[in-house]
Copies of this chain bind each other. A is one copy, B any other.
Amino acid sequence: MSKVLHNTLRSYVNLTTLGENCLFVKCFSSSSPRYRAKIIDGVKIARDIRNELKAEVNEWVAHGNRQPHLTAILVGEDQASHAYVSAKMKAAKYVGITSETIKLPATISETSLLSYIDQLNNDNGVDGILVQLPLPEHITERAICNAVTPHKDVDGFHIVNVGRFCLDMKTLVPCTPLGVHELIKRSGVPTLGKNAVVCGRSKNVGMPIAMLLHADGTGETGAMDATTTICHRYTPADQLAMLTRTADIIVTAVGIPNLIRADMVKEGVCIIDVGITRVKDEKTGKDRLVGDVDFDAVVEKAGHITPVPGGVGPMTVAMLMKNTLLAARKEVVYNILDPGAVVQKKASQLRP
């Protein structure tokens, strides 16, 4: 018996004792190193979704509808923002969504920006409106987010969409949380009754991800029924490690490289890394992007893991396309001012 196989079998005995043989058997039967995680390929999954959406758009147009249309508003000269919007418009073109980018100077007043949005709200040729954040300091982001009419709010930032989402009603959900949800679903990772830990409580990412993880799977957002812990800047390091060690799923969206280390996770965990930080590579001296996870070490222990870049990032763009199609089809029925028409599960019918 070769030494490697001998060690492997010895490990098998130990692991069976620990009740973790199931995962082991999976790895044992493959040629990959023991516990080497399945890399969740966000680039590929996003491409699959774009192709699915392309087919849906084709069908929509084949039924006599015009192509969905997305308009982006880009304020100022921030390079990253320009790159993001450009990627979104490229994706739109691929799936058959027509698009336009309105570029405005950083000096634009809030009132002028609001009047651009108002015009787009009233333009029947526009299905989705996207105002690229961040905005210059003198503009109130919340005012802008609320100015986009809810049914064109493909970023899911309008207060009515947030309310609907938190009540588990069908709505336009923010793209990054939606992308995280999709990555977990498409990876086949079980979530019902599992332990999930979310690091970060931002209103656009951490909070909605915690909503999607913990809420009732029979609700309109198709949530994941996981026991869910929200950690944040005031979670002490030892408590964070205690919690992540019990987690079956970790979603981290903090922007602190190496926040999640191998000694902080259990074997087989699914890790979705939403963090993006630019660091200088010590070997090459060049800048590179890293997430919140010590990837090289954790990949040896996790069951599933997203890389950075190439994990959540491409999904955010794909989900924006999904929301634009949803908006074009008017799938979300807004009846807040016509409440008699609301057809929704009673809160008491959701499973607490």
Contact = CB atoms under 8 A, between A and B. Distances in A.
Given A201-B214, A342-B143, A336 B242 contact: no
Interface residues of A, number: 69
Task: Please tell me how many copies of the chain the complex holds.
Answer: 2
Given A159-B160, A160-B163, A350 B229 contact: no
A215 interface: yes
B346 A142 contact: yes
Contacts of A200: 352
Contacts of A114: 339-340
B146 A347 contact: no
A254 B352 contact: yes
B142 A344 contact: yes
Interface of A: 110-111, 114, 134, 140-144, 146-147, 158-164, 166-169, 192-193, 195, 200-204, 206-207, 210, 214-216, 225-236, 239-240, 242-243, 246, 253-254, 335-336, 339-344, 346-348, 350-352
30 contacts: A114-B340, A140-B342, A140-B344, A142-B169, A142-B342, A143-B344, A144-B339, A146-B339, A146-B342, A147-B339, A159-B169, A162-B163, A193-B235, A193-B236, A193-B239, A200-B352, A201-B214, A201-B352, A202-B347, A202-B350, A225-B232, A225-B234, A226-B234, A227-B234, A228-B230, A229-B243, A233-B351, A239-B246, A242-B246, A254-B352
